[in-house]
Amino acid sequence: MSPPIYGKVALIGLGLIASSMALAMRRGGLAGEVVGTDHTPETRRVAAELGYCDEIVETARQAVEGADLVVLCVPVGAMGALAADIGPHLKPGSTLSDVGSVKGAVVQAVGPHVPADVHFIPGHPVAGTEHSGPRSGFAELFDNRWCLLITPQDGSGAEAGADMGLGTGDRDADDAALARLRALWEGMGANVETMDADRHDLVLAVTSHAPHLIAYTMVGVADDLRRVTDSEVIKYSAAGFRDFTRIAASDPTMWRDVFLSNKDATLEILGRFTEELFALQRAIRQGDGAHLHDYFTRTRAIRRGIIDAGQDTDAPNFGRASGRAPR
């Protein structure tokens, strides 16, 4: 069996992503020791009960002591203060990463607190469920999903990365740290790609952030439309609305921080969405069936591309087992 990629990994925050990372690292023998912490005593208690970390400690400072890799698994809005707290206690030569859904704001908030001899490589596993908390994790969460690791913009060089708080400015050392973190994510089952922070935030505004906001809005509309009773909304939920409610059940604190931290890209995409929506409204009002058919044909092809890429299944009902309650 291959030796662990990291001797000690510290997970700060013990929700869905951290618990899944701990289980995936254990599955692959990727870490010699996994230490976890959370600011909530009850979460620490449950995590200790589940036993997916080798040790649960009370504070982030305790967790990062001697750690070769530290991963911030907390809401984006909490990362700056957390980095300021643990920065002086990070092991020289170690790597600091995160799993936030926004990257530009994380670089700005965390970067200034990273010591010069610590590698800062922000990350984002594009995987998750609507569930949260330490009981929601499972080792297969990242299998065949993408993890995006953030590097300086193309051509900016190691010096620019150091100015941003990304890496040490030592090209060979930074490349080695990046390769090591890539190997960890690949060992946990993920496909890995590098990307600069601005590009990441624009792409995720399209693929994740705006869709979540639209889902929240549609569920809110149903709640406000008093001509349709609550019992009818629940009883007659077709697949489309049902899946909106699944998305809208996601952690409210995390998504509040995502929208406030990535507001420019999200607003840009919502502006384009509004233009498309107005065009569809006009086609419906004018009875322009050709426009609607052409539009739906084009968008249907996107779904086929997602299935062909192995990122979802074309099984009926999204592969849900009939008669079984969702997890």
- Strand 95-98, strand 6-12: pairing: unpaired
Question: 200-287 falls under which CATH superfamily?
Answer: 6-phosphogluconate dehydrogenase C-terminal like domain (1.10.3660.10)
pLDDT of residue 156: 45
Q: Is the pLDDT of residue 214 over 70?
A: yes
In this prediction, residue 230 has a pLDDT band, given cuts at 50, 70 and 90, of: low
- 256-278: per-residue pLDDT in tens? 888 888 889 889 988 988 999 99
β-sheet bridge partners, residue 55? 35
By the 10 Å C-beta count (0-12 exposed, 13-18 middle, 19+ buried), 14 is classed as buried
Using alpha carbons, select from 116, 8, 129 the residue that is nearest to residue 63: 8
Chain centroid, CA 312 distance in Å: 17
- pLDDT tens-digit series, residues 31-69: 999 999 999 999 999 999 999 999 999 999 999 999 999
CATH 3.30.565.10 fits 6-195, yes or no: no
Answer yes or no: is pLDDT of 85 > 50: yes
Q: Could you tell me the pLDDT band of residue 238, with boundaries at 50, 70 and 90?
A: low
Q: pTM of the predicted model, to two decimals?
A: 0.79
161: alpha, beta or left? (left if phi > 0; alpha if psi -120 to 50)? alpha
Q: Tell me the per-residue pLDDT of 117-162, one tens digit each, with 9 for 90 and over.
A: 999 999 999 998 878 899 999 999 999 999 999 998 544 444 445 5
Three-state secondary structure call for residue 136: helix
Domain with CATH 1.10.3660.10 in the chain: 200-287
pLDDT, residue 125, reads: 96
Residue 59 burial by Cβ neighbours in a 10 Å radius (0-12, 13-18, 19+): middle
